[in-house]
Structure 1
Amino acid sequence: MRILIAHRSAIMLGQLQRRLERLEIEVVRAATGLTEVYDFAEHHEPDCVVLTTDIADCPEFELLATLFSIMGIGCVVLGTPQQANVTDAALRANPAIRVLPGTASDSDLIAALGPSRRRRRPEVIVAAPASNGRVDPRSTILIGSSTGGIDALMQILRHFHAATPPAVIVQHTGGNFAGSLIRLLDGVTSAKVLAATHDASLQPGHIYLAAGDTHHVRLRNAAPARIKLDEAPRQSGHRPSVDALFHSAVPFAPHVTAAILTGMGRDGAEGITALRAAGARTFGQDEATSVVYGMPRVANALGGIETELPIQQIGPSLLRAALHRQRA
């Protein structure tokens, strides 16, 4: 069994490595940060990752947990019961994560390192729905998400294809993990997922993801619409902000189909409400399938949600609404 271990303390990392080697368990890599763990796991596929709560107890761990689940990599989190606060989003993304106290016995640790059950990537839907010649050439899809949003986005994007209207996404993810998230999402869709870049024009079959946390992603009203990146202060507590994206599209709202997904707080709620008032079609993820029913709840309360749906229905509904709009 090939094990990757991680701890922010080099001293504690050495102690963990010696313990595993004493148990005749092969340690193939010792890492001190979440980015290093993700990169090694993605490219070298260890059998299991053993890390501590100082690394696991952060929002970005949701992305790592999703990767482990898809690739069938086991994960053991070590820490005291008081420290083992692995995020709900991570546990929803990968319920096979095992949490043990740091004082766990050798036998309990060996048992936790057992084989993980490989999960299949979501099936990509490749058939493009018929447009009946009524597609608005300026049709644009906008999506905002936060806690729990990675798995939600994977379920939506599996329905997107080369004829899908261009889509722009803001997902609250740490700046160091934007490239990893793009690769992960690109693997579950037949559309092309790429980083949003300044002045890029939106093209069908392309999904533009806000990359990093140094810029907001906005849209400029053009035919086709173009991306604008700016370094304005945080909006609704975030940069990039879902509200910043949604508000920027209000001038051409009749061409927009928008969705707000699982997430804590209210980012995007006011923006999607303004979009709906200006003529956009709008969707929200329901409480039952949301990891955190925060952003959709506020948006619904403000009147910004035309239709609330379980996550399994949002992808097809977005496409139907975006592809069957009358030309403006």
Structure 2
Amino acid sequence: MSHPGTVFCMVTTTLTSTYDFAEHNQPDCVVMAASFADCAEFELLDTLFRILGIGCVLMADDPGMVLSSLSSKAREHVIFVTDQHDSRALLDAVRAASQRKSDTSNPPSRAESKTQFDPQKVVLIGASTGGIDALLKTTQSFGTTCPPTLIVQHTGGSFAASLIRLLDGATQAKVEQAQDGMPLKPGHIYLPPGDMAHLCLHKGAAPRMSLQAGPPVSGHRPSVDALFTSAVPIAKNIVAALLTGMGRDGARGMTALREAGATTIGQDQATSVVYGMPRIAKELGGVEQELPLPKIGPALLSACAARLRA
């Protein structure tokens, strides 16, 4: 049993071990070298911290160099210590960070949708920088009868399982790891198991997932372009969204999907952390409709609604 004023310390050396410890032990505060914030995986880690109310102190000689790589929510959440030899400043920062409250801005919707969905429809979503929060917001309205949904988010392979657990706790849909040859089921959201293969759709009597080995596509593995392009043969049954992200992955594939008859949605500039991927898709003509983040989830579900005959 702990006593007031008692401090327990745990030292971890990697982002993966830090995530696992934080997820299972929920410490009051985590102190990290600011260099970790430059890693793409830090976005997922900080999201977990905010959801669980875990404070984060970054030790940085120059916070300005670090801020540019953080999302707006991360900038509000972390506390910087610039003098690593000032024990009083570090203690004050830890105390302040330990008072952080959990982020309840993304609670799962508990009201099951009464919408009947077209059983042929499949939702595809691609995201990168800023995508963790965007995916939490987009999928929170997905329920136990939502269309089968495949997601590619640029995250380090060792964090794939962590991202799946995080999303699974934010939606009533079942979020799980994709497996090669797995059939698509309503009420399920699938993500690739790591960064060793591309998540794709395999056309057949009934579409199935496939995990295809190969080099990076558009600079990434798994690649949004690989997923989107694989779905072109069944484009008329596809509803695709391209969310915030740096670079151009997904832009070419979304354009091909739209040209083949898919419904395509791009996140707008105002709500994107980085207006890169959706911007290029728009410039290429791949975005049928551009929407702010809060409207994308409902729009995806609406586009999949069954058209009932009179």
* TM-score bracket, shorter-length normalisation: over 0.9
TM-score (norm 1): 0.87
Distance 1:326 1:278 in 2: 24
Contact 1:164 1:323 in 2 (8 A): no
Cα RMSD, aligned residues only: 2.0
Matches within 5 A, 1:1-328: 26-81=7-62, 84-86=65-67, 88-93=69-74, 95-103=76-84, 105-113=86-94, 114=96, 115-120=99-104, 122-131=106-115, 135-324=117-306
Per-residue deviation, residues 8-27 of structure 1 (Å, max 9, x unmatched): xxxxxxxxxxxxxxxx8724
Equivalenced residues, count: 303
Query: Cα distance 1:313–1:104, how it changes in 2: closer, same or farther (>3 A)?
Result: farther
Q: Give secondary structure in 2 for the equivalent of 1:50.
A: strand
Larger mean Cα displacement after TM superposition, 310-319 or 81-90: 81-90
1:19 — aligned with what? none
Gaps of 5+ in 1: 3-23
Alpha-carbon offset, residue 223 of structure 1: 4.1
- List alignment gaps of at least 5 residues for structure 2: none
Q: CA deviation at 1:86?
A: 4.9
User: Secondary structure at 2:10's aligned position in 1?
Assistant: strand
114-123 or 139-148, larger mean C-alpha shift: 114-123
Task: Provide closer, same or farther for how the CA distance between residues 55 and 102 of structure 1 changes in structure 2, counting only shifts above 3 A.
Answer: farther
CA contact (8 A) 2:242 2:277 kept: yes
Deviations 1:203-254 (A, max 9, x none): 0000001221100011011343101111111100000000000000000001
Superposed CA deviations along residues 54-74 of structure 1, whole A, max 9, x for unmatched, are 323211100010000010000
Give the 4+ runs in structure 1 shifted more than 4 A.
none
Contact 1:65 1:91 in 2 (8 A): no
1:81: how far off? 0.6
Matches of 2:75 and 2:84 in 1, distance apart? 24
The answer to whether the Cα contact below 8 Å between 2:72 and 2:273 also exists between their aligned partners in 1 is no
Q: How far is the alpha carbon of 1:116 from its aligned partner?
A: 1.3
TM-score, normalised on structure 2?
Answer: 0.92
Are the equivalent residues in 2 in contact too, given 1:203–1:224 (CA < 8 A)? no
What amino acid does structure 2 have at the position aligned with 1:233? P
- Give CA-to-partner distance per residue, 1:33-62, whole Å, 9 cap, x none: 111110000000110000102323211100
Alignment check: 8 A CA contact 2:235 2:262 kept: yes
